[in-house]
């Protein structure tokens, strides 16, 4: 009897170990933007593809809309291991290193093609920087080009003085300053609230965020500037990454490449549609021209010069290589 129990416990123990070896890594993935946003939908497809391709061994659950961690807290949460994986706006970290803001230099890369080229030169530097912070870069997808939202007609920066402006990173706060506006940093998840309460009365973003946040309920004018295409990126805590088998790491890298291509294609496909939706909901959608365009280009030049002067040799190398390829 005793012998039988011993044998049974050995069998039970080995079964337990086998199950344990194959147990799924369950990863929660905080994302900052709404569930219906294309970045979030792409994140869900990425998670599904990883689950399928790893035979269920890596099981990622997406938490959009800042529901698990607010946008501003996602990187810290992943760095400290509170979440193994997450997504964040890359340029939100330009206060840590200007390199993170290379995709938000006004008028440097203003189309999807240019954005891809810039990313090709920027990606290795970002990967290295993130690695030194204990993070593994997986993929990055651009937002549609950025334009300006107001609740009045604006013909030049003379019309923007004193306007309360919602910023989403240092570059957008600097734009506000240079346009004589008053910047206040607000996450996209809280944008409708900020507009409704008058905390902000204008902002710079894509048609995507204007559409997601139904900003026609508060604002009236959208000016297409095509100033830059900032990226969201998905990254993993290195310790969590190292716990995966080499095979699963390779699978996830492959799926990440597909997610980057699919998300970028989706962003481009939707970019024009978002603007038609703004117009269909009553906004005046127009191209920034004349004095407004001239003023914005001047501000863009100031900001590009400031970036190059402060980003150090590595930043300069990225921008030079991008320009040389143009």
| Residues near ligand PCA (CB under 6 A) | 89, 143, 168, 188, 205-206, 208-209, 230
What contacts 187, CB < 8 A, 6 or more positions away?
Answer: 32, 66, 70, 71, 72, 168
Q: Which is nearer to ligand PCA, 214 or 238 (CB)?
A: 214
Q: Which is nearer to ligand PCA, 168 or 307 (CB)?
A: 168
Question: Among 229, 226, 204, 104, which residue's Cα sits nearest to residue 148?
Answer: 204
Least distance between ligand PCA and beta carbon 67 (Å): 16
| Start-end of H helices in the chain | 2-22, 38-53, 71-79, 112-132, 170-178, 191-196, 207-212, 238-242, 246-280, 290-310, 312-325
Least distance between ligand PCA and beta carbon 95 (Å): 16
Q: Is 23 helix (H, G, I), strand (E, B) or coil?
A: coil
Q: Is 269 helix (H, G, I), strand (E, B) or coil?
A: helix
Q: How many CB atoms lie within 10 A of CB 61?
A: 13
- Looking up tokens 């080229």, which residue turns up? 117
263/197 Cα distance (integer angstroms) = 33
DSSP state of 95: T
Q: Which is nearer to ligand PCA, 94 or 209 (CB)?
A: 209
Least distance between ligand PCA and beta carbon 89 (Å): 5
Number of residue whose CB is nearest ligand PCA: 206
| φ, ψ of residue 86 in degrees (nearest 5) | -165, 175
Least distance between ligand PCA and beta carbon 250 (Å): 31
Least distance between ligand PCA and beta carbon 298 (Å): 23
Q: How far is CA 107 from the centre of its chain?
A: 19
56/31 Cα distance (integer angstroms) = 21
Q: Which is nearer to ligand PCA, 157 or 191 (CB)?
A: 191
Least distance between ligand PCA and beta carbon 231 (Å): 9
Q: Which is nearer to ligand PCA, 72 or 220 (CB)?
A: 72
Least distance between ligand PCA and beta carbon 120 (Å): 21
Q: Which is nearer to ligand PCA, 84 or 174 (CB)?
A: 174
Q: Which is nearer to ligand PCA, 175 or 251 (CB)?
A: 175
């Amino acid at each position: 009897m005793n012998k039988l129990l011993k044998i049974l416990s050995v069998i039970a123990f080995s079964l337990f170990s086998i199950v344990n070896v194959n147990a799924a890594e369950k990863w929660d993935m905080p994302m900052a933007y709404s569930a219906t946003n294309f970045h979030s939908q792409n994140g869900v497809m990425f998670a599904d593809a990883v689950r399928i391709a790893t035979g269920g061994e890596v099981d990622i659950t997406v938490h959009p809309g800042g529901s698990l961690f607010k946008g501003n807290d996602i990187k810290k949460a992943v760095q400290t291991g509170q979440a193994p994986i997450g997504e964040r706006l890359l340029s939100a970290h330009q206060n840590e290193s200007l390199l993170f803001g290379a995709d938000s230099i006004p008028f440097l890369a203003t189309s999807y093609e240019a954005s891809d080229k810039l990313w090709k030169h920027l990606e290795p530097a970002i990967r290295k920087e993130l690695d030194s912070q204990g993070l593994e870069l997986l993929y990055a997808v651009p937002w549609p080009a950025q334009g300006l939202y107001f609740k009045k007609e604006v013909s030049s920066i003379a019309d923007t003085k004193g306007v309360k402006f919602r910023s989403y990173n240092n570059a957008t706060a600097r734009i506000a300053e240079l346009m004589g506006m008053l910047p206040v940093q607000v996450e996209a998840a809280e944008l409708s609230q900020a507009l409704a309460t008058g905390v902000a009365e204008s902002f710079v973003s894509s048609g995507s965020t204007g559409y997601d946040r139904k900003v026609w309920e508060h604002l009236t004018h959208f000016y297409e500037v095509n100033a830059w295409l900032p990226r969201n990126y998905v990254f993993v805590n290195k310790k969590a990454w190292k716990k995966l088998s080499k095979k699963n790491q390779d699978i996830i890298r492959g799926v990440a490449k597909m997610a980057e291509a699919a998300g970028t294609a989706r962003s481009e496909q939707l970019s024009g549609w978002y603007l038609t939706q703004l117009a269909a909901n009553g906004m005046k959608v127009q191209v920034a021209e004349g004095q407004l365009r001239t003023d914005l280009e001047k501000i863009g030049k100031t900001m590009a010069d400031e970036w190059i002067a402060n980003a150090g040799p590595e930043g300069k190398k990225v921008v030079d290589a991008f320009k040389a390829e143009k």
